[in-house]
Amino acid sequence: MSKSGLANRLYRGEAGLNLIGKRKIWFGVAGALILVALLSFGINRFTLGIEFAGGNQFIVPASNSVTLSDAQDAVDKALADNNTEATALPATEVGRGGQAWYEIRTSELDANKITAVKDQIAQELGVPSEEINDSAVSAAWGKQVTERALLGLVIFVALVMVYLILRFEWRMAVAAVSSLLLNLVLTAGLYSLAKFEVTPATIIGFLTILGFALYDVVVVFDKVQENTRGITASGTTTYGEAANLAINQTLMRSINTGLVALLPVGGLLIAGLSGASTLADLGLVLFVGMAVAVYSSIFFATPVLVTLKEFEPRIQAHTKRVLARRAAIARGEVAPKKGEAAPAAARQPRQAAPEQASEVGALAGSAPKVGSRPTGAKRSGGGRGGRPGGNRPGGKRR
Q: Is the pTM of this model over 0.85?
A: no
> According to the model, what pLDDT value does residue 33 have?
93
The pLDDT of 327-349, averaged and rounded, is 65
How many alpha carbons lie under 13 Å from residue 281 in its C-beta half-sphere? 17
Measure the CA–CA gap between 186 and 178, rounded to whole angstroms. Answer: 12
Residue 48's DSSP bridge partners are 198
Give pLDDT tens digits for 102-150. 888 888 888 778 888 888 888 888 888 888 888 887 777 777 878 888 8
Spell out a b/e string for 12-35, using b for 16 or more CB atoms within 10 Å of the CB, else e.
ebebeeebbeebeebeeebeebee
Least confident of 48-52, 112-116, 228-232, 261-265: 48-52
306 vs 119, higher pLDDT: 306
- In this prediction, residue 374 has a pLDDT band, given cuts at 50, 70 and 90, of very low
Measure the CA–CA gap between 12 and 9, rounded to whole angstroms. Answer: 5
- In this prediction, residue 369 has a pLDDT band, given cuts at 50, 70 and 90, of very low
Element (H, E) at 219: helix 200-228
- Number of neighbouring beta carbons within 10 Å of residue 80: 10
Short-list 251, 209, 204, 249, CA closest to 226:
249
pLDDT > 90: percent of the chain:
20
The pLDDT of 210-220, averaged and rounded, is 87
> According to the model, what pLDDT value does residue 273 have?
67
